[in-house]
Structure formats: C-alpha cells, structure tokens
Amino acid sequence: MDNAYLAFDEVKKMYPNEWILLGNPEMKNTSVMGGVVLYHSKDKKEVCYIGRDKTADFSTVTIAFAGDLKQHRKIGILRRI
C-alpha cells in the first residue's frame, strides 16, 4: 500500500464490505472522513492483529467498516443457548 490519503467514500468503493485500518484518520465527530489505508480484510480480527505491525509510522489509527452494518445484529462476547 502506498501512503496516500484517501477520502472514506473512495475507500468504500475500493474495499466494499471490508474492515479497514486507517493511519492518521481525519474524523468529524465520530465519523471517519478519510485516512491512509494500512490494511484491509473481511475479517476484523485479521485487521487488528496483522495490521498492528503496519501502524508504527502513524500517530493515530482507527478501524472502520466500509459497508453497512446491520442495525438489528446483536454483538456480544458470549451467548448462551
């Protein structure tokens, strides 16, 4: 990856429905406006663990999803049946 800044709309077109690790992100309130793409994958854990080595040259980083998260989806640590 080159270290070029991309607007988040461009990132969404390039990597639809993937988790993106962004270096030096530009934020507006809680929304990501853009940044430098450091790593991307459909697997969020992969982005967290493999992407960690790519963050050394950046003062801030964030992870964002380049798609629509379902609002009714429940996320939790453990679900018992």
Higher local confidence (pLDDT), 20 or 78: 20
- The pLDDT tens digits for 14-59 are 999 999 999 999 999 888 999 999 999 999 999 999 988 889 889 9
**pTM metric for this prediction:** 0.80
Residue 77: inside a domain: no
CA distances from 16 to 10, 29, 41, 79 (A): 10, 23, 10, 29
**How many Å apart are CA 37 and CA 20, to the nearest integer?**
7
Range of the structural domain that residue 18 is part of: 5-65
CA dist list (Å): 32 to 19, 59, 72, 77, 80:
13, 16, 22, 25, 34
The DSSP letter of residue 53 is G
62, 38 contact by CB (below 8 A): no
Give domain status of residue 70, yes or no. Answer: no
48 inside domain:
yes
Total domains in the chain come to 1
70 has pLDDT over 60: yes
pLDDT for res 42: 93
Give the model's pLDDT for residue 35: 95
